[in-house]
Amino acid sequence: MRTLRMLLLAFALCDTLDAQVLGVGYQKVQSDQIDMRDMSGAGLRIRFGRPIDVRYDYYSASGQRFDTPCGGFIPPDCGPEVMDYSSYLHSFSIAGRIDALPGRPFHVYLLPEAGMVLGKITKRGVASGKGASSTGGALGVGGAVELSAASFKNTPLGGWIALRYRRFFAPGPEALDAYEPHRDLNWIRSAELGLVFSF
């Protein structure tokens, strides 16, 4: 139901903003943050007649690793153990669109972008039940190379595959005695594929 509501909202927004293409995709994501090394998730894009894309992406990851369940200052009674961890990221970005091979039935787009991520990381000890969580975000810039077909056999449906890379910069001062794992997120790279619907 949430996915259906998101798609209905996206279609309404596309009509209101005179968008030309709506895209829905799936992504495999890697980063340098220890609790976000391997993520996956869905992406939604709105492509306008002007060379601009607006994008929303959702990534998540979960698993186990050996670590201390406490964050920030580590007290003596909070030794390492097997941890359950989970994380998610919401990503919002605006990208320019450069057609590297104009005049062809398919497109190779270069997509420089800027945006931000917001998310939450939670870890909890399997044996002790102790844990820590942090909500945070960062600003970012990046780009993608995308192979895109606007239409399959004269239908309004098309598709894309892309490689994407982004760098992030956490704003504000760092609190040395706090658990702020989002400050360890420096880059994200992803492989994406998806379907597009042309209006």
Three-class secondary structure assignment of 58-108? EEEEEEEEEECCCCCCCCCCCCCEEEEEEEEEEEEEEEECEECCCCCCCEE
- Give the N- to C-terminal CA distance of the chain in Å, as an integer: 23
Per residue in 123-149, pLDDT (tens digit) is 999 988 888 899 999 999 999 999 988
Question: Once rounded to an integer, what is the mean pLDDT over residues 22-39?
Answer: 93
pLDDT band at 9 (very low <50, low <70, confident <90, very high): low
- pLDDT above 60 (res 106): yes
133 falls within a domain: no
Question: Once rounded to an integer, what is the mean pLDDT over residues 161-180?
Answer: 86
Q: From CA 95, how far away is CA 55, in angstroms rounded?
A: 8
- pLDDT above 50 (res 17): no
9 falls within a domain: yes
% residues pLDDT > 90 (the chain): 52
- pLDDT above 70 (res 7): no
| CB count in 10 Å sphere of residue 8 | 10
75 falls within a domain: no
77 falls within a domain: no
The pLDDT value recorded for residue 2 is 54
80 falls within a domain: no
- pLDDT above 50 (res 164): yes
46 falls within a domain: yes
- Collapsing DSSP states into helix, strand and coil, what is residue 176? coil
Full residue range of the structural domain in which residue 108 is found? 2-62+89-116+138-198
For 20, residues 6+ apart whose C-beta sits below 8 A from its C-beta are 47, 48, 49, 198, 199
% residues pLDDT > 70 (the chain): 90
Please state whether the predicted TM-score (pTM) of the whole model is above 0.95: no
Looking at the structure of the chain, the number of domains it has is 1
The pLDDT value recorded for residue 85 is 93
183 falls within a domain: yes
Phi-psi sector, 72: left (phi>0), alpha (psi -120 to 50), beta: left
Here the tokens at position 44 are: 């939604």
Q: Where is average pLDDT lowest: 24-28, 103-107, 156-160?
A: 103-107
The pLDDT value recorded for residue 178 is 78
The pLDDT value recorded for residue 14 is 47
Output b/e per residue, 157-176; b: 16+ Cβ within 10 A. ebbbebebebebebeeeeee
Q: From CA 183, how far away is CA 174, in angstroms rounded?
A: 8
Q: Where is average pLDDT lowest: 78-87, 157-166, 172-181?
A: 172-181
180 falls within a domain: yes
Q: What is the CATH number of the domain that holds 31?
A: 2.40.160
Residue type, 14: C
The pLDDT value recorded for residue 5 is 57
Question: Once rounded to an integer, what is the mean pLDDT over residues 30-35?
Answer: 93
For 73, residues 6+ apart whose C-beta sits below 8 A from its C-beta are 177
